[in-house]
Chain A
């Protein structure tokens, strides 16, 4: 029976069905054959969405989009250019740095690749960078966003398992910074070797002026994190405060937001959120079926039967997640696999917060792993180069990302130190 479910799901995925509908259709097939009353479909959709923490997802998406309409992406990129542009490979470094700053408001790696890439890739090509390198830097660095807080993926991971959103946010900060800085290191090394251009050194005034423009977005991240960590707001409340803040900044500081445009942004953000919620709702149903079939026990039995050494277990899980991450969208993969694998991790006494960071990092790396990584596709599309070329150019970045993953896996304190410091 479980084979029917998983088989239908796989076929639908391959046939280009939207992932949310793949989940829905495979559940439908299973329930029809089992003879379960189909009322369970809307019921599980409802209970999957009817969660207060999930309100923070449209909140953060909306706040990010509102900020962007004030020209934030451009401000961040300008600021990063002024800051690191004069170093060898300056634009490429600014690309990574921008992703790290942009992380404060962006929820998904794919949107980061698209928004920063559409500005950065053409600019880098103009300055004489190889197109495949430009695409590879963009794709690799965009994975930093969802690790550095705030992060939609982390909210979902927390919702699924009852972990604290605040703790998860904090846990991602250091690994995210480490990943970003390591990628900058590789970028610098390659740029030196290939003698990529550097920009003119900017004066303090220019840095200062561009900082003021990005300051407002950085302040938003600070408010969100301070509010959640300080126990002032719940994550949902923080996201709504962020919306209010972005509205005020958009209207009074950037002065680019009219009522009409605000309405368009609201609608677009809700559409993005709705697509996510339908995915979450069907995944809730899918997960319910997996549990009635006792698949989680089966999987953990298999893995734990192979070895009960935490490092071996983590290695196996890492391999599985990267593999899945290469062809499945992060959030869908998280929804289906995270609760199951968390059980395995808990069985060998791995801290759940630590494990969540590992899992997310894995799925992010999957997004840039050839041949199927989605971010590679998006970047290659913008830069008009072949997937093969981007994959080859991205190889050093992938290697470093895997190294960071290994460090984060082996050193729990990288993830756990900050949450312990602020929230225990």
Chain B
């Protein structure tokens, strides 16, 4: 028979991705601890909706959960920090930042401005550039056409670094690399592997230009419908999901690198400080005064 709360989650990743496996684990915990009062159904691979539509569907109560981050900058500007190039230098820096005032402000604005409540966060892994010639220094980018997702900050960054940035749908990526319409792309390693980039690209250049993360979210209205005891259980389970996902993520990252190497990709250590220098304040200068202030609270602009 029907549970008291049937939740539907729409994820963009496939079933073998750590985020999906974390949600599956979360669902088991929830059902067990709530004695079957909450049941979570998780749908992989954008089956239910693309990320932007999943957000709208949660806002209007059609479905209940998804994972999202920088896309929410369509609603509130602060979310651009979730995938800002050269903002952080490591995953640990991200953890520190999210534990501090900026993290708190992001979480608060998500609830008030987008109607979504973040209940944990998952590291997305560093984004690296792949190409057919090794890129060790920004000077090597001359004339390189890089596919980027359609995010304005990424255009700014790659053009500041000296490459030619071309926004393109992910579905066109593989064929375009094959045909030589573009020469390079940048993504976290799991996605690079999932899209079979090893068939069309030879090098992974460890640029680590973005340390991104994503929030598992539930609609605020849906969350407020839970009685207090279920709210507490829900948040507890979410915390455990975050710990579980981090463990999977770290195991996975090493495994994926080994696999990409086995498939013939060469990993290149880059002169990252040179990238940071050449990039300079390119992003900072595009921010609104309010966001520049937030930026300065995290780190000093170069000039």
Contact partner of B8 (CB less than 8 A), chosen from A52, A162, A292, A423, is A292
Q: How far is the CB of A338 from chain B (nearest CB, A)?
A: 15
Q: How far is the CB of A318 from chain B (nearest CB, A)?
A: 25
List the one stretch of A35-43, A327-335, A392-400, A406-414 in contact with chain B: A35-43
Is there contact, CB below 8 Å, between A292 and B181?
A: no
| A292 CA / B172 CA spacing, docked (Å) | 28
Which residues of the partner chain A approach B47 to less than 8 Å between Cβ atoms?
A: 291
**Closest residue on chain A to residue B181 by CB atoms:** A231
Is there contact, CB below 8 Å, between B175 and A164?
A: yes
CB under 8 Å from chain B, chain A span 207-258: 231, 234
List the one stretch of B52-60, B89-97, B130-138, B287-295 in contact with chain A: B52-60
Is there contact, CB below 8 Å, between A231 and B179?
A: yes
Q: Is residue A272 within 8 Å, beta carbon to beta carbon, of the partner chain?
A: no
CB under 8 Å from chain A, chain B span 38-54: 43, 47-50, 53
Also in contact, A288 and B176, with CB within 8 A (given A37-B62, A39-B60, A162-B171): no
Contact with A along B1-14 (1 / 0, CB 8 A): 00000001000000
**Closest residue on chain A to residue B200 by CB atoms:** A424
CB under 8 Å from chain B, chain A span 131-189: 162, 164, 166-167
Q: How far is the CB of B239 from chain A (nearest CB, A)?
A: 28
Also in contact, A36 and B175, with CB within 8 A (given A47-B49, A288-B48): no
Q: Is residue B61 within 8 Å, beta carbon to beta carbon, of the partner chain?
A: yes
**Closest residue on chain B to residue A287 by CB atoms:** B47
Which residues of the partner chain B approach A166 to less than 8 Å between Cβ atoms?
A: 175
Which residues of the partner chain A approach B180 to less than 8 Å between Cβ atoms?
A: 231
Which residues of the partner chain A approach B48 to less than 8 Å between Cβ atoms?
A: 288, 291-292
Secondary structure at the A interface, as helix, strand, loop or mixed, is helix
Is there contact, CB below 8 Å, between A43 and B176?
A: no
Q: Is residue B178 within 8 Å, beta carbon to beta carbon, of the partner chain?
A: yes
**Closest residue on chain B to residue A159 by CB atoms:** B171
**Closest residue on chain B to residue A37 by CB atoms:** B61
Is there contact, CB below 8 Å, between A167 and B175?
A: yes
Is there contact, CB below 8 Å, between B57 and A424?
A: no
Contact partner of B57 (CB less than 8 A), chosen from A43, A162, A167, A231, is A43
Which residues of the partner chain A approach B169 to less than 8 Å between Cβ atoms?
A: 52
Is there contact, CB below 8 Å, between A36 and B179?
A: no
**Closest residue on chain B to residue A166 by CB atoms:** B175
Also in contact, A43 and B62, with CB within 8 A (given A231-B181, A292-B48): yes
Is there contact, CB below 8 Å, between B60 and A423?
A: no
Which residues of the partner chain A approach B179 to less than 8 Å between Cβ atoms?
A: 231, 423
| A162 CA / B171 CA spacing, docked (Å) | 6
Which residues of the partner chain B approach A292 to less than 8 Å between Cβ atoms?
A: 8, 43, 48
CB under 8 Å from chain B, chain A span 375-424: 423-424
Which residues of the partner chain A approach B8 to less than 8 Å between Cβ atoms?
A: 292
Is there contact, CB below 8 Å, between B60 and A43?
A: yes
Also in contact, A43 and B171, with CB within 8 A (given A37-B62, A231-B176, A423-B178): no
Which residues of the partner chain A approach B178 to less than 8 Å between Cβ atoms?
A: 423-424
Q: How far is the CB of A164 from chain B (nearest CB, A)?
A: 5
Which residues of the partner chain B approach A234 to less than 8 Å between Cβ atoms?
A: 172
**Closest residue on chain B to residue A339 by CB atoms:** B47
Which residues of the partner chain A approach B176 to less than 8 Å between Cβ atoms?
A: 231
| A162 CA / B173 CA spacing, docked (Å) | 11
Which residues of the partner chain B approach A167 to less than 8 Å between Cβ atoms?
A: 175
Q: How far is the CB of A53 from chain B (nearest CB, A)?
A: 9
Is there contact, CB below 8 Å, between A40 and B181?
A: no
| A234 CA / B175 CA spacing, docked (Å) | 12
Contact with A along B194-208 (1 / 0, CB 8 A): 000000000000000
| A166 CA / B175 CA spacing, docked (Å) | 10
Question: Which of B49, B50, B62, B181 has the most A CB atoms < 10 Å from its CB?
Answer: B62
| A36 CA / B8 CA spacing, docked (Å) | 12
Question: Which of A37, A52, A167, A292 has the most B CB atoms < 10 Å from its CB?
Answer: A292
Which residues of the partner chain B approach A40 to less than 8 Å between Cβ atoms?
A: 57, 60, 62
Contact with B along A26-50 (1 / 0, CB 8 A): 0000000000110110010001000
CB under 8 Å from chain A, chain B span 162-200: 169, 171-172, 175-176, 178-181
| A150 CA / B48 CA spacing, docked (Å) | 30
Contact partner of A36 (CB less than 8 A), chosen from B43, B50, B62, B171, is B62
Which residues of the partner chain A approach B43 to less than 8 Å between Cβ atoms?
A: 291-292
Which residues of the partner chain B approach A39 to less than 8 Å between Cβ atoms?
A: 60, 62
Is there contact, CB below 8 Å, between A37 and B60?
A: yes
Which residues of the partner chain B approach A424 to less than 8 Å between Cβ atoms?
A: 178
Which residues of the partner chain B approach A423 to less than 8 Å between Cβ atoms?
A: 175, 178-179
| A423 CA / B177 CA spacing, docked (Å) | 11
**Closest residue on chain B to residue A43 by CB atoms:** B56
Q: How far is the CB of B178 from chain A (nearest CB, A)?
A: 6
Q: How far is the CB of B55 from chain A (nearest CB, A)?
A: 11
Can you list 20 A-B pairs, Cβ within 8 angstroms, ordered by A?
Answer: A37-B60, A37-B61, A37-B62, A39-B60, A40-B60, A43-B53, A43-B57, A43-B60, A47-B50, A167-B175, A231-B180, A231-B181, A234-B172, A288-B49, A291-B47, A291-B48, A292-B8, A292-B48, A423-B179, A424-B178
13 additional contacts (CB under 8 A) given A292-B8, A292-B48: A37-B60, A37-B62, A43-B62, A47-B53, A52-B169, A164-B172, A167-B175, A231-B176, A231-B179, A288-B49, A291-B43, A291-B47, A424-B178
Q: Interface residues, chain B, CB within 8 Å of chain A?
A: 8, 43, 47-50, 53, 56-57, 60-62, 169, 171-172, 175-176, 178-181
Nearest 5 interchain pairs by C-beta = A162-B171, A231-B179, A40-B62, A39-B60, A231-B181
